[in-house]
Chain A
Amino acid sequence: MATLNDKSLHHALPQNPQRRDLLKNAGGLALGFAFGPGLLFKVFDARACEDGLRANAWVHFRPDNSIGIMCPTAEMGQGIMTSLPLMLAEELDADWELVDVEQAPAAKDYINPGYFGVQGVGGSNSTRGYWTIMRLAGAQARKIMIANAAQYWKVPAGECTTAQGKVVHAESKRELSYGEIAVFSEVVNNPPLVTENELKPREQWRLIGRDVRRVDVPAKVNGSAQYGIDVQIPGMLFASLARSPIANTPHPLYGTGAENGPVSFDDTEAMKVQGVVKVVKLDHAVAVLGTDYWATVKAKRLLKVEWRKGELASKYDSEAKKTEWVALARDRSKTGRAVGNAGDFNAAFKQAAQTLSAEYLTDHVHHACMEPFNATAWVRGKEVDVWVPTQGQTWAQQVCAKITGVPAEEIRINTTFVGGGYGAKTEQLMTAEAVTLSKLMNKPVKVIWSREDDVKHGAYRPLTAQRMDAAMAADGKVMGWSHRLVADSVLVRARKVVWDQNPGLDGSVAVGMVQPYGVPNKHHEYVHQLGGVPVGYWNAVGNGFTIFAVESFMDEVAAKIKKDPLQLRIELMTDIRGKAVLEQLRKVSEWDRKRADGRALGVAYNHGGAWNCQIGEVVEVSLDRASGAIKVHKVWAVADPGTAIQPKHLRQQLETGIIWGMSAGLREQIVIKGGEVQHSNFYDYPVPRMDEMPEIEIHLVEGAHGQVSGAGQIGVAPMAPAIANAVFKLTGVRLRELPMLPVRVKTALNEQAVKTA
């Protein structure tokens, strides 16, 4: 099986040789590539380049026949460190057993043309963004191997072929391994470039679509896997930061956090703690630096800090915000940005024989990655090294450049394993803190956030209020559909440069509003409101709340027109893949079979939009009426990811999504009062444990032949509405607020009891 080259995760540690030296010493051939979206611009001999470029090889053939392949993005559990190099290996016709994977450094050569044009991982973009270019690179490298062997044998290249790591000339029964070729091989200038139509037909795939072992797993069972928090630099200082009582997570490219930052501090007691070196006021926090980590933790507790209270943030109350924003959602005179509209909803509503309205609310939720934010930096003049578990190397470079004045491309971002990302680790505040403090102290500094820091200063999924309206003809035919979403924007805070190009619209928040249900008159509108507390990318971001509204309301419509909710979806579905998913789901969940007393099924669907992956989920639930607690017993999911590069990894990702969706549906909630987060740690922000796992059955179908998708987040969103729909089937009570906390369920049950009494 392919392995992990774990030197690549330590490559810039000062006590280790630099990567370029590793390449030089190892000999062989190193190839670099330049890409645009879906196409290859250039291939070059990475040995022949200046030192600075030497590091930017994509594939390295060594004389011992081993082949190093770069993984451009960070591994955070999604299996990308296996699946991207595997695409290249497939076209290269490499022997997978002899491949080792290296973590690529931060450099423009590794950017994902499909993801904001940056090197980073998010939006389920890695597979889609790198799919074509990784295979083109592999095919190009194979061509170079063939050309060199043919020249060596003095035979036409067209007579040569490849077989698992070697070039074969069948006629003369000669063969050369890639390692043998690497020793003498040359790359001609500007060779003809491989195009997409030269890639292997699917029938010839040996690796894609067949499960291989994940390369990152062995290091993760013996403690050797290096996460950001594990980085050790000789002589480094530690830093613990005292943070504002108000949620204060500025994005360092666009804000300072000074509005909620320290006015003054008293470090008299803190400085008495042995091991503390210095206390420093930053814009957003007060940092305690020391030679001993625990000393900084102790001293932080002894600091006395007076804090500013930001105008906007200190007035933010999440309960009140829902009430305020649902009024806006209801008020059609408050206009926002329309998304994917069709027909004339207003006319349809006027002509409707029957109408239906409902309002949905969702609270903030938090990532609670197992590895809290951390970063280590060593700034020494123009030399800037940063070790950070990040989803965004390019953004980390930009942040460091802003602080140090060193050009972004010269900042060395050393990517480590990421102990859970889910969008949180696109954030860069920890990077900024480490670099600022290292520059100030002229020493390496490791910043470690406490769990409490992590919970109280996250980048939460936006809180939302949504208003749905439907217009039906006398026979129940759905003629009009309106969806108004009121929420803060992630872009306005974390990608201001993107927001400014198209203000008022945030695709990551509005995502999921437009679903392929055949309703002639459709209106979707996103009304942005600035909240003042940090909101960010969460697993599936907007999908988590928009699909809750869409798929709950679809059930409400079905109840109103007395249709089976799954049948209604199938009838309205205009997407052929979506229809197949739902029909398969009906079958595998035995939707039409009556369940035991006290149990009921609910269904929800998610088209997935640009992810190009569709999913339907059915849940079987029961309810403890005394406590209001909902239990999910079983989940059936049918997903159409197109081609599954690694089916087993894909199932893991879907399962993670299902569990996150269940958890966000039932219990995850960040309450904010006066800008202050009312939670601290896992005891008051509980996440699912082993005893709460439902049975999960996942079925994959392939409706889009030959296409790939981003499947990392697709599983999340349908869970909450499927659960709400199942509870409705069980009790006749409609739950319209996330999370569906037991206390909320009981209130809803009591309201129903009063109504029916």
Chain B
Amino acid sequence: MAQMTSTTLTVNGKRQTVTAHPDTPLLWVLREHLKITGTKYGCGVGQCGACTVHIDGKAAFSCLRPIASLANVHVTTIEGLSPTSEHPLQKAWIAEETPQCGYCQSGQIMRAAALLKDNPKPTREQIVAHMKTNICRCGSYRRIIAAIERAAKEG
């Protein structure tokens, strides 16, 4: 697989055709081909969650999804979560001043958005069980929980 191929998919509502090695992770297609850099590289092996996006509405590690397997899917990144950055989670993240270094927070918010979509009023335990896939090295976890609870309450 040393030659590139083309794949067409929809990213944040926009059809995109990219030419890349077929095993290129979606993460790097987003970041370096499409220059949509809010989605972050942390580990490359599905361990940290910094690269979390939504693929056809489900939270996924974009570092583990080769582009060739994603023809015609719909991808949403942090940039596409809300056109005005006013998703209830984004508002709650600001209200709680959740980010510190902030590098993991795109992934955290995308992961949390998938939770609230399926379960608008999660319990504390459900939040923790769902979010523990995502690492925050600054340890902002308690404010992530507070922000999710706030968003669930305030909508």
Contacts and interface: CB of A to CB of B under 8 A. Distances in A.
Contact of A681 (B47, B140, B144): B47
B56 interface: no
B117 interface: no
A77 B100 contact: yes
B75 interface: no
Interface residues of A, number: 62
A217 B103 contact: no
A531 B123 CA distance: 50
Interface in A637-696: 648, 652, 655-656, 658-660, 681-683, 687-691, 693, 696
A420 B137 contact: yes
Nearest to B82: A222
B139 A659 contact: yes
A229 interface: yes
B103 A420 contact: yes
Contact of A221 (B37, B90, B135): B90
B135 A687 contact: yes
A478 B2 CA distance: 71
B140 A274 contact: no
Interface in A258-287: 272-275
A370 B20 contact: no
Contact of A370 (B23, B45, B103): B103
A230 B142 CA distance: 27
Given A223-B77, A227-B103, A370-B136, A292 B141 contact: no
A689 B45 CA distance: 16
A656 B141 contact: no
A376 B119 CA distance: 42
B78 A213 contact: no
B44 A419 contact: no
A221 B85 contact: yes
B39 A223 contact: yes
Given A370-B137, A689-B134, 20 more contacts: A214-B97, A216-B102, A217-B98, A220-B99, A221-B78, A221-B93, A221-B94, A221-B98, A223-B37, A223-B39, A225-B102, A230-B37, A293-B28, A294-B32, A370-B135, A420-B138, A451-B44, A682-B47, A688-B139, A691-B128
A545 interface: no
> A220, A274, A648: which has the most chain B beta carbons within 10 Å?
A220
> A223, A227, A272, A372: which has the most chain B beta carbons within 10 Å?
A223
Given A230-B37, A294-B24, A648-B97, A683 B47 contact: yes
15 contacts: A78-B100, A216-B99, A222-B90, A229-B40, A229-B41, A273-B21, A274-B2, A292-B4, A292-B21, A370-B103, A417-B101, A420-B137, A656-B138, A689-B135, A690-B128
A658 B78 CA distance: 30
Given A293-B32, A656-B100, A232 B3 contact: no
A238 B32 contact: yes
B101 A221 contact: no
A741 interface: no
B135 A220 contact: no
A571 B85 CA distance: 55
A370 B94 contact: no
B131 interface: yes
Contacts of A648: 97
A652 to B, nearest CB: 6
A688 B48 CA distance: 11
B103 A450 contact: no
Interface string A232-244: 1000001000000
A273 B78 CA distance: 32
Nearest to B107: A370
B62 interface: no
B101 A419 contact: yes
B145 interface: yes
Interface in A66-111: 76-79
A448 interface: yes
A218 interface: yes
Contact of B94 (A78, A217, A372, A682): A217
> A77, A229, A272, A658: which has the most chain B beta carbons within 10 Å?
A77
B139 to A, nearest CB: 4
B103 A681 contact: no
A368 B25 CA distance: 22
Nearest to B145: A690
Contacts of A371: 40, 42, 101, 103
The 9 closest A-B pairs by CB, nearest first: A223-B38, A419-B103, A77-B101, A220-B102, A77-B100, A659-B139, A223-B78, A682-B47, A230-B37
A273 B22 CA distance: 12
B128 to A, nearest CB: 5
Interface string A380-418: 000000000000000000000000000000000000011
Contact of A294 (B21, B42, B103, B136): B21
B153 interface: no
A78 B102 CA distance: 11
Contact of A218 (B40, B94, B131): B94
A443 interface: no
A337 interface: no
A224 interface: yes
Nearest to B67: A294
